[in-house]
Amino acid sequence: MKLSRLLAELPRAELLGEGGVIIDSVCYDSRQAGPGSLFVAVPGLKADGHDYIGQALDAGAVAVAVQADREGKWRPLVARGVPVLVAPDTRAALAGIAAALYGHPAHRLLVIGVTGTDGKTSLAHLIAHVLETAGRRTGLVSTAECRSGQDLLPDTGRFTTPEAPQLQAMLSQMVEAGCRWAVTEATSHGLALHRLDGCEFDIAAITNVGVDHMDFHGTAEEYLAVKGQLFAMLDRSVAKGIEKRAVLNIDDPSCQYLCGLTRAQPATYGLRSQADVSAARVVSEEWGSRFLLSTPVGKARAWIGRPGAFNVRNALAATAVGLAAGLELDTIVRGLHSWSGAPGRMELVEEGQPFTVVVDFAHAPDSLRRVLELLRARSRGRLIAVFGCIGERDKERRFPMGQVAAEAADYTIVTDDNPYTEDRQGIIEEIAAGLRAAGKREGHDFALIPDRRQAIAQALAMAADEDVVLLAGKGHEQEVHLADSSYKCDDREVARGILRKLFGGH
């Protein structure tokens, strides 16, 4: 694509220099630049892409996109004859350029965005499964996995929502694979940093809105406003022959605010009867819940194979999305019943042991409390919790998570959860401070074991009949990242290996 044609995709940008150069690819990391590439200089949280323009040009980039307020860093390029696209915000420009270079794949897909503080991954996977049950070929972008139909796509690394070039590439692969639908998680970071621009959403759904990522968003009001951007985007998305829908949790205080952000038809769900999609006569059954499902098109008896009210709400949300997508109610119910769950979300590990082992992604105070309280209600023995906190961000979670464990678990083992460049022992001590403040004693009520594999082994070794062991925070993840190294640790596989040794697979 000619650079001048890309300019037409960016109405607020200006081109300085030759517009006839051909652009084959776009990158925001100078190490990925090459012949025919357009380097987009993005001001980051730790580094400024404008400082790496020289490296990108040396690697073969034929043009650069820069931010207007960094003129001191890019103005000399114009005199050198380098084609320069000047944009007010290069993050937004990156998304627009990526969508254009990949031929706007979202125009040829029906796209469902899922946001919320908790449960995004489970809901995204459930929606994709319901669509597939109905014979709709579907792509998925989630924290746990990305796939086009049943073909796995490359891991997105540390980001739930990939940067715009990776996300648009995935959508393009879905189109090429014959997918008609795409389901993507829409994180607050992804929305705020324009990674989801160009996704042309048709249905937006939300789980709940708590308080999270205050290190990035600053206030609860800003966090909610960013979540709301997904619903506002419905009004700017291209028409694709389907009515835009906003699927909202009527049980959550955010419902009315989010409804006011879009002209899209609202579809509410919740445990209250006034919701468009609701549940009554909810009964816990095995590792799930049975309930009477009420919808605008009729009622049905339904079952979801994951426990707790939050999973019932996910079933209701998926039903509302399914109806908005034009599916029959009985097909949706079949999809709910046959869903095996999202990887590492309330996932049972069973190797014949006389106690329960659960792996979950809960990694914030509210989600940890919710899971522990659910497990407490289903347990007749002790509740043993194993968890840590991620490094480099969300430091305000650590002390409260220790407090939650002190209140809701009988014994806690504090361990690694991707410390990255932070001191792993320091993070553990911050969590332990919350336990100590609640009157818990190390060695009696809790232990500090940095190596996560050893922590899991300790928890399983001390568990007795009818106890419950919760391995929280990592879910589907398979490695623990330290400052200068990493080690393999899939909680599910580590637990299975230990249990087989302890109980011989019986």
- State how far the Cα of 43 lies from the Cα of 106, in Å rounded to an integer: 26
Query: How confident is the model over 77-105, as a mean pLDDT?
Result: 96
Query: How confident is the model over 343-366, as a mean pLDDT?
Result: 95
Q: Say whether both 445 and 478 belong to one domain.
A: yes
Residue 159 has pLDDT above 60, yes or no: no
Residue 290 has pLDDT above 60, yes or no: yes
Q: Give the pLDDT confidence score for residue 394 in this predicted structure.
A: 82
Q: Domain limits at 409?
A: 347-503
Residue 336 near residue 302, CB atoms below 8 Å: yes
User: What is the pLDDT confidence band of residue 46, given thresholds at 50, 70 and 90?
Assistant: confident
Q: Say whether both 169 and 191 belong to one domain.
A: yes
When mean pLDDT is compared across 123-127, 262-266, 392-396, 429-433, the lowest value belongs to 392-396
Q: Say whether both 484 and 358 belong to one domain.
A: yes
Residue 386 near residue 470, CB atoms below 8 Å: yes
Q: What single DSSP character describes residue 22?
A: B
Pairing, β 146-148 against β 138-141: antiparallel
CATH number, position 32: 3.40.1390.10
**Segments in 150-284 forming alpha helices (H):** 164-176, 188-192, 214-217, 220-234, 255-259
Q: Residue 239, Cα to own-chain centre: how many angstroms?
A: 26
Tokens linked to 246: 């906003």
Question: Of the residues 75, 100, 125, which one is the last residue of a structural domain?
Answer: 100
Q: Give the pLDDT confidence score for residue 155 in this predicted structure.
A: 67
Tokens linked to 398: 């650590």
Q: Say whether both 112 and 257 belong to one domain.
A: yes
Q: Residue 80: beta bridge partners?
A: none
Mean pLDDT (the chain, rounded):
94
User: What is the pLDDT confidence band of residue 157, given thresholds at 50, 70 and 90?
Assistant: low
Residue 335 near residue 134, CB atoms below 8 Å: yes
Q: Say whether both 195 and 81 belong to one domain.
A: no
**Helix 309-324, helix 329-338: angle, nearest 10:** 140
Provide DSSP, 291-356: EEEEETTEEEEEEESS-SHHHHHHHHHHHHHHHHTT--HHHHHHHHHH----TTSSEE--SS-SSE
Residue with tokens 């400082």: 51
When mean pLDDT is compared across 122-126, 153-157, 364-368, the lowest value belongs to 153-157
Q: Say whether both 140 and 182 belong to one domain.
A: yes
CATH number, position 418: 3.90.190.20
Q: Within 10 Å of residue 290's Cβ, how many Cβ atoms?
A: 17
**Helix 491-503, helix 452-462: angle, nearest 10:** 40
Q: Say whether both 222 and 206 belong to one domain.
A: yes
The residue type at 339: W
Residue with tokens 């004859």: 81
Residue 355 near residue 115, CB atoms below 8 Å: no
Bigger pLDDT: 155 or 417? Answer: 417
Which of 290, 288, 300 lies closest to 328 in space, CA to CA? 300
Q: Say whether both 262 and 326 belong to one domain.
A: yes
SS (H, E, C) 39-82: EECCECCCCEHHHHHHHHHHCCCCEEEEEHHHHHHHHHHHHCCC
Q: Say whether both 303 and 170 belong to one domain.
A: yes
Question: Of the residues 100, 132, 166, which one is the last residue of a structural domain?
Answer: 100
Q: Say whether both 184 and 306 belong to one domain.
A: yes
Query: How confident is the model over 201-220, as a mean pLDDT?
Result: 82
Q: Give the pLDDT confidence score for residue 210 in this predicted structure.
A: 80
Residue 215 has pLDDT above 70, yes or no: no
Q: Give the pLDDT confidence score for residue 272 in this predicted structure.
A: 79
Q: Quick one: how many helices (H) and strands (E) in the chain?
A: 17, 24
SS (H, E, C) 440-491: CCECCCEEECCCHHHHHHHHHHHCCCCCEEEEECCCCCCEEECCCCEEECCH
Give the number of domains in the chain.
3
Question: Of the residues 319, 338, 357, which one is the last residue of a structural domain?
Answer: 338
Residue 262 has pLDDT above 80, yes or no: yes
If DSSP codes are grouped into helix, strand and coil, which group holds residue 233? helix
Q: What single DSSP character describes residue 153?
A: P
When mean pLDDT is compared across 130-139, 210-219, 448-457, the lowest value belongs to 210-219
Half-sphere CA count of 163, side-chain side, radius 13 A = 16
Q: What single DSSP character describes residue 9?
A: T
User: pLDDT tens across 233-242, in order?
Assistant: 999 999 999 9
Residue 505 has pLDDT above 60, yes or no: no
CATH number, position 189: 3.40.1190.10
Q: Say whether both 162 and 298 belong to one domain.
A: yes
Which of 140, 244, 235, 259 lies closest to 202 in space, CA to CA? 244
Residue 145 near residue 156, CB atoms below 8 Å: no
Residue 160 has pLDDT above 90, yes or no: no
Q: Residue 267: beta bridge partners?
A: 247
Which of 133, 14, 174, 152 lies closest to 78 in space, CA to CA? 14
Q: Say whether both 82 and 118 belong to one domain.
A: no
Q: Give the pLDDT confidence score for residue 207 in this predicted structure.
A: 96
Q: Give the pLDDT confidence score for residue 214 in this predicted structure.
A: 61
- State how far the Cα of 187 lies from the Cα of 226, in Å rounded to an integer: 9
H/E stretch holding 408 reads helix 398-408
Residue 19 near residue 7, CB atoms below 8 Å: yes
Residue 131 has pLDDT above 60, yes or no: yes
